[in-house]
Amino acid sequence: MPINRTSGNMYADCDTWNPIKGCEHGCSYCYLQKLAKRYGYRINPRFAPHEMNTVLKTTKILFVGSTADMFGSWVPDDWIEKVLEHCNMYPEVTYLFQSKNPERFFDWVDKFPLNTILGTTIETNCNFKLSKAPSVHDRCIALSSLDRFRRMVSIEPIMDFELEPFVKMIGFINPEYVSIGANTNSDARFEEPTAMQVRNLIKKLAEFTAVKAKSNLERICPAELIKDYVKKERK
For residues 116-128, give the mean pLDDT: 95
**Residues in CB range of 39: below 8 A, 6 or more apart:** none
Q: What is the largest CA-CA distance in the chain?
A: 47
Give the mean pLDDT of the chain: 91
32 has pLDDT over 90: no
**Distance (Å, whole) CA 208 – CA 94:** 23
Mean pLDDT of 169-186: 93
Q: For residues 102 and 56, is the Cβ–Cβ distance under 8 A?
A: no
Which residues touch 7 (CB under 8 Å, ≥6 apart)? 235
Q: Are 93 and 55 in contact (CB under 8 A)?
A: no
Q: What is the mean pLDDT of residues 67-92?
A: 97
Burial 89-105 (b: 16+ CB within 10 A, else e): ebeebbbbbbbbbbbbb
pLDDT at 141 over 50: yes
CATH 3.30.2130.30 fits 14-233, yes or no: no
Instruction: Sketch the domain layout of the chain as residue ranges.
Output: 14-233
Q: What's residue 28's pLDDT?
A: 84
Residue 33 confidence (pLDDT): 65
In the three-class reduction of DSSP (H, G, I as helix; E, B as strand; rest coil), residue 103 is classed as helix
Q: How sure is the predictor about 234, in pLDDT bands with cuts at 50, 70 and 90?
A: very low
pLDDT value at 173 more than 70: yes
Q: Indicate the pLDDT class of residue 235, thresholds 50, 70 and 90.
A: very low
pTM (two decimals): 0.93
